[in-house]
Amino acid sequence: MLRIENVGMRFGGLWALKDVSFEVERGTILGLIGPNGSGKTTMMNVISGVYKPSEGEVQYAGRRIADVPTHDVCHLGIARTFQVVKPFANLTVRENVGVGAMYGRLGAKRSARDAFARTDELLEFVGLARVAGRPASDLTIPDRKRLEVAKALALDPEILLLDEVMAGLNASEVDEALHLLRTVNERGVTLIVVEHLMKAIMSISQRIVVLAEGKKIAEGLPQDVTSSPAVIEAYLGARYVKRQAAERERKAAAPPAEPPA
Ligand SMILES: Nc1ncnc2c1ncn2[C@@H]1O[C@H](COP(=O)(O)OP(=O)(O)OP(=O)(O)O)[C@@H](O)[C@H]1O
Ligand SMILES: [Mg+2]
C-alpha cells in the first residue's frame, strides 16, 4: 500500500534521512522506532507531503506522491498527527474535529450536519465528548493527544501516521490508547506508529523499522528487531554492547559458583 524508496531528506549539511526504503502492507500496523533525532518525524513529514524528499520516491497505492502537496495527500487518504500537537486553539474541541470531517477524504460528500454527526461519534470514541464544547487551548496533555487522534480520524484516512501520541500518558491511559488504535486498525485503517515506549510499540506492531542517524538499521518482527545488536547499540551505545559481551565472556570462563553448604 505504501512504498518508501531510497528516501533522503537533507537540511543544509545534515541528512535527516538517507537511503531509507521500506514497505507497509494494507491493513497492518508498522512501528517506526529509533533514538532521538533519528529521523522518525522527518519520515512522517515526507510521507504526509509536508516535506518533498531530497532523494527517492514515495508510492501510495501504486501512485507516486513525493511531489503531491500535503492537502492533496490528505484527500488521497493519508492522515497524520503531530508530535507537537497542533489544534486550532480558538475553536472548540468539536469544531476542531468538525473541520477534519468536512475537509478530509470524504468531506466533500458530507453536509455540515453529517460532518458533525461523524464528529460526535469520534469524540465519543476517543473519550472527548465530555469536553466537546471547550476551547482546544483548555485541554490537558492527554486530552490534546486524544484530540490529535480524533482530528486525524475525522479525515477518514486509509493510512494513519501517529507521532508519539502516547507520550505523557500514564500506564492505564497507554492501555486505553493501545486498545483504541487496535480498534481503528480492525476497522480497516493501516497504521504507522512512532513511539518511544518500547512495551507499547512491541505489543501493537506487526513489523518494526528502526532508524538511527537517518538510516534504516533494522526491520522485521518486534522480537527479532529488539534483540539485534545494531539496534541495542543505537539505543544504548557501543560501550554498553562491549561491556555486555565482556560480561558474557567472563561468565563463560568462570567456574560455576559452589552451591551453599
Ligand atoms: N526542518 C528542519 N530543519 C533542520 N533540521 C531538521 C528539521 N527537521 C528535523 N531536522 C533535524 O533532522 C534530524 C531528525 O529529526 P527528527 O525530528 O526527524 O527526529 P525524530 O526521530 O523524530 O526525533 P525525536 O524522537 O526526538 O522526536 C535531527 O537532527 C533534527 O534536528
Ligand atoms: Mg520526532
Instruction: Residue 72: give its domain's CATH number.
Output: 3.40.50.300
**Are both 130 and 184 inside the same structural domain?**
no
Q: Helices 238-253 and 229-236 sit at what angle, rounded to 10 degrees?
A: 120
- Residues 58, 91: one domain? no
Task: Measure 259 CA to ligand 2 centroid, in angstroms.
Answer: 50
Which ligand is closest in space to the CA of residue 45?
A: 1
Question: What one-character DSSP code corresponds to residue 129?
Answer: G
Q: Is 21 exposed, middle or buried (0-12, 13-18, 19+ CB in 10 A)?
A: middle
Beta-bridge mates of residue 22: 4
Q: Which pTM value belongs to this model?
A: 0.91
- Give the pocket of ligand 1 (CB within 6 Å): 11, 14, 16, 34, 36-42, 83
Give the number of domains in the chain. Answer: 2
Q: What's the pLDDT at 94? A: 98
State the pLDDT at residue 261.
63
Cβ(242)–Cβ(249) under 8 Å? Answer: no
Question: Around 116, how many Cα atoms within 13 Å sit in the side-chain half-sphere?
Answer: 8
User: Does pLDDT of 137 surpass 80?
Assistant: yes
Q: Are residues 243 and 185 in the same domain?
A: yes
Q: How high is the pLDDT of residue 234?
A: 87
For residue 109, what are the domain limits?
Answer: 86-156
Q: Are residues 58 and 162 in the same domain?
A: yes
Residue 216 makes CB contacts below 8 A (sequence gap 6+) with 19, 20, 21, 22, 209, 210
Distance 159 CA to ligand 1 centre (A): 22
Q: Residue 259 domain-assigned?
A: no
Confidence bin at 108 (pLDDT 50/70/90): confident
Distance 100 CA to ligand 2 centre (A): 23
Which of 11, 43, 52, 193 has most ligand 1 atoms within 8 Å of CB, for mutation?
Answer: 11
The two most distant CA atoms of the chain are separated, in Å, by: 82
Indicate if 189 and 141 belong to the same structural domain.
no
Instruction: Flag whether pLDDT at 244 surpasses 90.
Output: no
Beta-bridge partner residues of 161: 80, 192
CA of 214 to the centre of ligand 1 (A): 9
Q: Atom 25 (ligand 1): residue with closest C-alpha?
A: 36
Residue 30 within any structural domain of the chain: yes
